[in-house]
Amino acid sequence: MDKNLWDKCVEFHGHECPGLAIGFKACEAAMKKLGISFSKDEEVVCVTENDACGVDAVQVITGCTIGKGNLIYRGTGKQAFSFFCRDTGERLRIVFKADSLSKDLSREERQQAILESPVEKLFEFKEPGFDLPERARIFNTLTCSKCGEGAPEHKMRLAEGKAVCLDCFDDYSRGW
């Protein structure tokens, strides 16, 4: 384990915890199995299925961030991370095995066990069930006719023939 990298993750996240350790170990596995390193742009893409502590380790270690468009949240709630390498086309879904550790461990013991365990014990390695997301796009900003705030055109709706943002849009549905 790279202690300096762990410390960097802890500093970014704000504290040590088992969730951060899961993300740390998932990145360790992705780097080894896919041969990836820190992504300065969109060379590496991570699709995270959770919005928990481990995602902070993904940002620090891989350079995947929402702002660059190479960290994408897919809210299944699973401790799963899919990594894609644009240069090689390689892909890997890493899923934490919920039963990989004893339920009787304290928080500190659980974190330590995660950090010390081989990745094969902690994770299942699979093919992602979805394709590599397209590169981030830049959209024109439109001004909402109700609140006056700007939003990208693909997030706007029409209401009475005028552009409105999602916050101001009154959705109409009849049950399906």
Report yes or no on whether pTM surpasses 0.85.
no
Q: Which residues of the chain fall below pLDDT 50?
A: none
> What whole-number distance in Å separates Cα of residue 6 and Cα of residue 61?
9
Q: Are the C-beta atoms of residues 43 and 87 closer than 8 Å to each other?
A: yes
**CA–CA dist 72, 16 (Å, integer):** 24
pLDDT attached to residue 134: 81
pLDDT at 174: 81
Q: What pLDDT score does 53 carry?
A: 97
**Run of H or E residues at 159:** strand 157-159
Across 49-98, where does the E strand assignment appear? 71-73, 80-85, 91-96
pLDDT at 173: 82
Integer Cα distance of 128 and 46 in angstroms: 11
- The residues, ordered by sequence, that sit 6+ positions from 132 with a Cβ below 8 Å of its Cβ are 45, 84, 86, 89, 91
Q: Which CATH architecture has domain 138-176?
A: 2-Layer Sandwich (3.30)
CATH class label, 3-126: alpha beta
Return the domain boundaries, the chain: 3-126, 138-176
Q: Output the pLDDT for position 119.
A: 95
Give CA separation, 6 vs 58, 126, 158, in Å: 11, 25, 47
Tell me: the pLDDT tens digits for 3-24? 999 999 999 999 999 999 999 9
